Structure 1
């Protein structure tokens, strides 16, 4: 049997195909190394992709180690940093998103693989005569556009990595904020329980004094109302503490069977101005970098669409026909799409519209980023000023007033009900101070998210635990 092509030519073609196909292969880490590098650089944390049961077991062991770092049998979440690290190990939504890397890498590898050749076989007969036709074809257009397609998919792979790293940073910021909410809710609950105990004692005292006619019905009703309000506040504080802890546990990917610190971390001594925060956001934010890559990729895709608008199908085939009593016929055939009805204008118009849409989205993303970082910076500055005012002025003054009222009560200058009224005002001040500290730490995490990383000129003194 005579081959379709000569042996040397066939061997050369097979060798070239093998060489080109060998260039497209899967990486060992699935592209996750860059995501890990960003987590280490911007967060100082380690991220893991639990692709195998062994990876999941290792992550589970490290989570258990972080929760029992103090050697106690009961799980304890000691700091916001530990919470972030656990989320990077164990957050189920984040782990599901990492699968996008595998999808993007598969598309990249597929774009770098040579198209499979096509083979057709036909056999006909007329009486005793037999005719056999064989052909081997290759999609030349797909082969010619493979370099451009590979570049587009490589850029998309980079875009997916940046978007996943951005999601990782957002998960870290959400976890940090949820941690501060949970600690503040628990701290407020503990204080509310103390207030409730005092209100209960005041209520019982007022009830006994009212029975003996030592206080008016108005004063007794006031104390009863205060006790009822305190019980309502306690129920609300318990609900908030439960909900905030559940929200934190969901981000961590674990059950809420862990304890938290009794109070929020101390405020820093000061926070300094950072230079040109908008420029930092433009340089650091990963969503903007991903949007830029998307625009560049669509620009290449638009160029490819324009280049192939007239000829989109081009196949080359080798033919061999055998017929009884005749010498074999060897030749080739070319299949081409004739642009008779479709000149490709619709495909080009669609690609242009998608490109312009992406360019406008990039502009909108940059505009939103600038606005977000300005608001986040102002919010953190205002939250710090307010929290420091409570810490340095309002709470000490309220404590001083309470001490003076206690002295006056001991000197029988004011009644017990006046002393208890002052205690109510002190409770409101303490709760407001806790909320102000919580808001600062939440705003601090929000600023890092808006910047896409830490502020480079933010030389804060003091360190959160």
Structure 2
């Protein structure tokens, strides 16, 4: 029996496949160390993959310690990275990708077939061992593709970690701003209530017209509506933060009464576009995807004519004839499908990945410029309100108080001025909140795909802004 001929290149590929398949095994941590390192580098935070049940009490004790005091933005982000169930579910895609990579490195399982044939008194046993030769020959290429997909999955999970951190930071600032705004709107309601009660009493004794009384009562009704709406915003933002942090008990969350102060100055970022192009993980991920599709295109072109190729060893035994040994090769004849469709689809996917990579680069430059400009503009607005408008309103209020003590103005003018001052403070709170949201957007724009911040719905300040008419 002549041996099956195999050229030197075929032998080299088979040898590499055997070596590659012999050493493939799952890693102890599933490649999670790279995600932990990225979280420490970009966020200075810890992230865990809670596969080990024994680690759960330690994680829970750390979360309880962070919740035992009024929450900060960094503490909220840390709890979310430790406790968010959606993130923990996403981490399992890393295990799936690693399993696919290891499976692609291992030799294909052989197939065994056994047949029993009879012819009169003759009984013939047919035994054959089959091996998918096409998969064996392309094993190094497939392993390289799965490795790049594994790396792409790891980059995607790092991006998920950064996105969760940014979303949690935004939700924290929105929730704290809603608490602070609700407090000031309650003060506006108290001022409007005092004015409405005083107008009612004066109207009873005939010293106040029904029109003026109705106007004060309208201010009070509008202020009560603002308080109800602000309470809705406070509840919505608080619950969103709780969901991102993965907390089952909402009562455990303690928010501070006010937002953090504005920084003294903003750090300069002269090369913000270049920094984003070098560090954005979504761009790295699109590059990896394009590389994987390029390798896949090469594999598709190599195997376009041979879709199924099997090498088999045959051993036939009979009770009357000598035993038969040999081999067989089976393959699919490309009579109707010459593989053009597979190659065309692979080429289209590759060109699509290239265009998406170019689109991501263009969008990244624009997004980081927009986020940088928004951070500086929101900072300027918040500082202007804090340093100019609010002190000016307070000075006006102090002067009106002196005039009221000197009986130069009435109590209704004083109450209207108080409402105006509270409206200005509410505007300052909104501007301070918008700055911190813009700051979180800039962080994400420098590291990955930015999420457009949608500020919580602000209730109107019409009754608080009304100052005249008395």
TM score, norm. by length of structure 1: 0.90
**Among 226, 230, 251, the residue aligned to 2:223:** 230
Q: Which residue of 1 aligns with 2:232?
A: 239
1:67-115 superposed Cα distances (whole Å, 9 cap, x missing partner): 11x4xxxxx32x1000000000011111111111111111111101100
Change (3 A) 1:16 1:154: closer
Contact 2:17/2:136 (<8 A) preserved: no
Q: Which residue of 2 aligns with 1:11?
A: none
**By how many angstroms is 1:375 displaced?**
1.1
**By how many angstroms is 1:285 displaced?**
1.1
- State the 4+ residue runs in structure 1 displaced beyond 6 angstroms: 15-18
After superposition, where does 1:297-376 map in structure 2 within 5 Å? Answer: 297-376=292-371
C-alpha separation in 2, matches of 1:338 and 1:125:
32
Contact 1:80/1:180 (<8 A) preserved: yes
Match of 2:147, SS state, is helix
| RMSD value, Cα | 1.9
**By how many angstroms is 1:280 displaced?**
1.2
Change (3 A) 1:16 1:325: farther
Q: Which residue of 2 aligns with 1:264?
A: 259
Q: Which residue of 1 aligns with 2:280?
A: 285
Q: Which residue of 2 aligns with 1:148?
A: 141
Q: Which residue of 2 aligns with 1:49?
A: 49
1:412-441 superposed Cα distances (whole Å, 9 cap, x missing partner): 111111111111111110000000000000
**By how many angstroms is 1:337 displaced?**
2.1
Q: Which residue of 2 aligns with 1:415?
A: 410
C-alpha separation in 2, matches of 1:22 and 1:331:
27
Gaps of 5+ in 2: 5-14, 449-470
Match of 1:134, SS state, is strand
**Among 61, 81, 86, the residue aligned to 1:93:** 86
**By how many angstroms is 1:290 displaced?**
0.6
C-alpha separation in 2, matches of 1:55 and 1:230:
50
Q: Which residue of 2 aligns with 1:35?
A: 35
Match of 1:47, SS state, is coil
Task: Tell which deviates more after alignment, 102-111 or 336-345.
Answer: 336-345
After superposition, where does 1:109-148 map in structure 2 within 5 Å? Answer: 109-148=102-141
Q: Which residue of 2 aligns with 1:426?
A: 421
Contact 1:39/1:46 (<8 A) preserved: yes
**Among 396, 401, 415, the residue aligned to 1:406:** 401
Match of 2:129, SS state, is strand
Q: Which residue of 2 aligns with 1:459?
A: none
Contact 1:49/1:55 (<8 A) preserved: no
Match of 1:385, SS state, is helix
Q: Verify: 1:178 aligned to 2:171, yes or no.
A: yes
C-alpha separation in 2, matches of 1:305 and 1:296:
14
Match of 1:318, SS state, is strand
C-alpha separation in 1, matches of 2:88 and 2:188:
43
C-alpha separation in 1, matches of 2:209 and 2:325:
118
Q: Which residue of 2 aligns with 1:214?
A: 207
Task: Tell which deviates more after alignment, 46-55 or 111-120.
Answer: 46-55
C-alpha separation in 2, matches of 1:92 and 1:381:
35
**By how many angstroms is 1:20 displaced?**
4.2
C-alpha separation in 2, matches of 1:412 and 1:100:
74
Count residues in correspondence. Answer: 435
Q: Verify: 1:164 aligned to 2:157, yes or no.
A: yes
Contact 1:178/1:247 (<8 A) preserved: yes
**By how many angstroms is 1:16 displaced?**
9.7
Change (3 A) 1:166 1:315: same
Task: Tell which deviates more after alignment, 216-225 or 302-311.
Answer: 216-225
C-alpha separation in 2, matches of 1:335 and 1:150:
24
C-alpha separation in 2, matches of 1:445 and 1:56:
30
C-alpha separation in 1, matches of 2:20 and 2:42:
38
Gaps of 5+ in 1: 6-14, 71-75, 454-465
Contact 2:20/2:140 (<8 A) preserved: no
1:433-458 superposed Cα distances (whole Å, 9 cap, x missing partner): 000000000000000001107xxxxx
After superposition, where does 1:13-92 map in structure 2 within 5 Å? Answer: 20-68=20-68, 70=69, 76-77=70-71, 79-92=72-85
Q: Which residue of 2 aligns with 1:457?
A: none
Contact 1:399/1:426 (<8 A) preserved: yes
C-alpha separation in 2, matches of 1:280 and 1:190:
41
1:234-259 superposed Cα distances (whole Å, 9 cap, x missing partner): 11111111111011101001132122
